[in-house]
């Protein structure tokens, strides 16, 4: 064979095979990456999580890969507001064979060498530290300004990724890496889990950490800008402050949280669908679909209020609620379609080529009469205007076909719509 592939059977249900898989990974890394795995004295330490722990205060869960940390070291850390200089008050680790997340009596150390996971306690300003960024330790000969500049490179390197737009959603994630992955997913079009095309989602703000009231206030600005669909926050693996949730509920800001990116996308898509459906319902009275109706002189069932006529939809879409007029008679307002009947069934819509009977009412002129003001020689036109066409473009694109848009262009000329 051209190549050999090692296969380790595992089960996500029972967990069988996971220790074997870890054993193979460790074995291969020790054999092929020995040089990279050698201990180095240059400090390499990354913040995994920021927590406030009862009895300890502000803490950092970090992974120390290389180098050495001492209790009392002066650290330079990265925050959204800029670098901070603070002291490592204590270095804590769980008992052997225990995870940091499992509650147990922590062991205090004066110093620790990599590679190890540990908890660092310090001043309250540690809560501002950005997870995913590195820790620098200041020694006697170091220049603090140089260290601050070096520390902020983690954020600076992501400046292009974190660049935002004037209108869009607000996103928050637990770490810089998670935020970068979320932004990449949202901004790149693709297909959702059902295989449907997914357009990119614009982002107006991106931060790391829990969702606070100040984040909700920023998201609420989108509604003031006329983009209520973007007045929401997508939180990836982050908690929501109760005060922030209460403020969001009061100001109609949606907060969607999930531990899986696809779930966040699903929440936001349903949010857009709900808003679009509401706006479509509000726009139904404004939107006028284009149509031409030819009257059949042998199928006039009632000549006066309500006028009931049989005929054919010559072009476009005729819907219940469509105002009809006759441009060739000085734009005579015939009335509004109250109902449509096709094959003895009430319908809401009749398309080009369909024969049907329509009931027309005219509240403004109840004396409108077939045979007096108009007859079968006059086609009935949908009465369109600029507002109705804009509503079609914005909310009813999916209901319109190319031929319907061509009819809209013709009607614009007839009604002198600019």
261 pLDDT tier (thresholds 50, 70, 90): confident
Question: What was the pLDDT predicted at 200?
Answer: 83
pLDDT at 268 over 90: no
Average pLDDT rounded to a whole number, residues 369-384: 92
pTM: 0.61
pLDDT at 193 over 70: no
Q: How far apart are CA 58 and CA 120, in angstroms?
A: 9
Q: How far apart are CA 289 and CA 168, in angstroms?
A: 31
Instruction: List, in sequence order, every beta strand (DSSP E) within 327-388.
Output: 332-342, 345-347, 349-351, 355-361, 380-382
2 pLDDT tier (thresholds 50, 70, 90): low
159 pLDDT tier (thresholds 50, 70, 90): low
3-state secondary structure (DSSP) of residue 405: helix
Q: For strand 68-70 and strand 111-113, is the pairing parallel, antiparallel, or unpaired?
A: antiparallel
386 pLDDT tier (thresholds 50, 70, 90): very high
Cis peptide before 146 (omega within 30 of 0): no
202-221 per-position pLDDT tens digit: 888 888 778 889 889 988 98
Q: CB-based burial of residue 2 (10 Å sphere; 0-12 exposed, 13-18 middle, 19+ buried)?
A: exposed
φ, ψ dihedrals at 4, nearest 5°: -120, 130
Cis peptide before 66 (omega within 30 of 0): no
Q: How far apart are CA 390 and CA 113, in angstroms?
A: 66
269-322 per-position pLDDT tens digit: 888 888 888 888 888 889 999 999 999 999 999 998 899 999 999 999 999 999
Burial 275-297 (b: 16+ CB within 10 A, else e): beeeebeebeeebbbbbbbbbee
Burial 55-77 (b: 16+ CB within 10 A, else e): ebebbbbbebeebebebebbbbb
3-state secondary structure (DSSP) of residue 157: coil
Q: How far apart are CA 76 and CA 2, in angstroms?
A: 51
Question: What was the pLDDT predicted at 101?
Answer: 58
Distances (CA, A) of 296 to 50, 175, 307: 77, 70, 13
Is the Cβ–Cβ distance between 255 and 217 less than 8 Å? no
The closest of 29, 114, 1 to 63, measured between CA atoms, is 114
Is the Cβ–Cβ distance between 209 and 130 less than 8 Å? yes
Distances (CA, A) of 270 to 56, 195, 256: 41, 16, 11
pLDDT at 100 over 60: no
Q: For strand 169-173 and strand 232-236, is the pairing parallel, antiparallel, or unpaired?
A: parallel
Share of the chain above pLDDT 70, in %: 93
The closest of 72, 40, 41, 74 to 148, measured between CA atoms, is 74
Share of the chain above pLDDT 90, in %: 39
Question: What was the pLDDT predicted at 370?
Answer: 92
Q: By 3-state DSSP, what share of the chain in percent is helix, strand and coil, each rounded to 5?
A: 30, 35, 35
408 pLDDT tier (thresholds 50, 70, 90): very high
Question: What was the pLDDT predicted at 360?
Answer: 94
Distances (CA, A) of 330 to 203, 373, 381, 415: 51, 11, 12, 11
35-87 per-position pLDDT tens digit: 777 777 888 899 888 888 888 888 999 999 889 999 999 999 988 778 899 99
Token pair, residue 129, equals: 């530290």
> Hey, how many other C-beta atoms are within 10 angstroms of the C-beta on 310?
16
Question: What was the pLDDT predicted at 80?
Answer: 76
pLDDT, mean over the chain = 87
Question: What was the pLDDT predicted at 79?
Answer: 84
198 pLDDT tier (thresholds 50, 70, 90): low
User: Position of tokens 């369109």?
Assistant: 384
411 pLDDT tier (thresholds 50, 70, 90): very high
Question: What was the pLDDT predicted at 347?
Answer: 94
Question: What was the pLDDT predicted at 161?
Answer: 58
Q: How far apart are CA 268 and CA 171, in angstroms?
A: 11
Question: What was the pLDDT predicted at 201?
Answer: 84
Token pair, residue 266, equals: 């699903």
């Amino acid at each position: 064979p051209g190549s050999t592939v090692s296969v380790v059977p595992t089960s996500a249900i029972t967990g069988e095979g996971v220790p074997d898989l870890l054993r193979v990974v460790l074995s291969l890394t020790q054999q092929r990456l020995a040089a990279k795995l050698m201990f180095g004295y240059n400090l390499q330490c990354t913040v995994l999580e920021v927590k406030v722990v009862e009895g300890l205060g502000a803490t950092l869960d970090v992974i120390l890969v290389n180098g050495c940390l001492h209790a009392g070291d002066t650290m330079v850390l990265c925050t959204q507001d800029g670098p901070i200089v603070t002291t490592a008050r204590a270095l804590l680790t769980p008992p052997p064979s225990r995870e940091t997340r499992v509650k147990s009596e922590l062991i205090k150390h004066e110093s620790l060498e990599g590679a190890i996971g540990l908890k660092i306690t310090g001043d309250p300003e540690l809560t501002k530290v950005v997870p995913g960024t590195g820790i620098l330790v200041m020694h006697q000969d170091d220049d603090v300004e140089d260290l601050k500049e070096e520390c902020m490179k983690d954020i600076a390197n992501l400046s292009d990724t974190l660049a935002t737009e004037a209108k869009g959603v607000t996103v928050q994630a637990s770490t810089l890496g998670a935020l970068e992955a979320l932004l990449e997913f949202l901004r790149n079009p693709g297909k959702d889990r059902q295989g449907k095309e997914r357009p990119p989602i614009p982002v107006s703000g991106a931060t790391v950490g829990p969702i606070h009231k100040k984040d909700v206030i920023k998201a609420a600005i989108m509604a003031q800008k006329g983009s209520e669909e973007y007045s929401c926050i997508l939180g990836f693996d982050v908690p929501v402050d109760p005060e922030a949730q209460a403020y969001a509920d009061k100001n109609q800001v949606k907060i969607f949280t999930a531990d899986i990116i696809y779930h966040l996308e699903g929440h936001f898509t349903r949010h857009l669908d709900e808003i679009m459906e509401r706006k479509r319902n509000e726009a139904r009275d404004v939107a006028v679909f284009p149509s031409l109706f030819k009257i059949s002189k042998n199928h006039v069932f009632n000549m006066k209020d309500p006028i009931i006529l049989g005929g054919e939809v010559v072009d476009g879409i005729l819907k219940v609620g469509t105002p009809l007029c006759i441009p060739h008679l000085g734009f005579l307002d015939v009335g509004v379609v109250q109902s449509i009947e096709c094959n003895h069934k009430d319908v809401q819509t009749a398309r080009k080529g369909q024969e049907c009977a329509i009931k027309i009412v005219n509240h403004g002129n109840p004396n409108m009469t077939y045979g007096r003001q108009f007859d079968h020689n006059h086609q009935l036109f949908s009465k369109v205007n600029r507002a109705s066409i804009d509503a079609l473009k914005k909310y009813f694109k999916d209901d319109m076909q190319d031929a319907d848009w061509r009819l809209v262009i013709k009607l614009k000329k007839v009604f002198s719509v600019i």
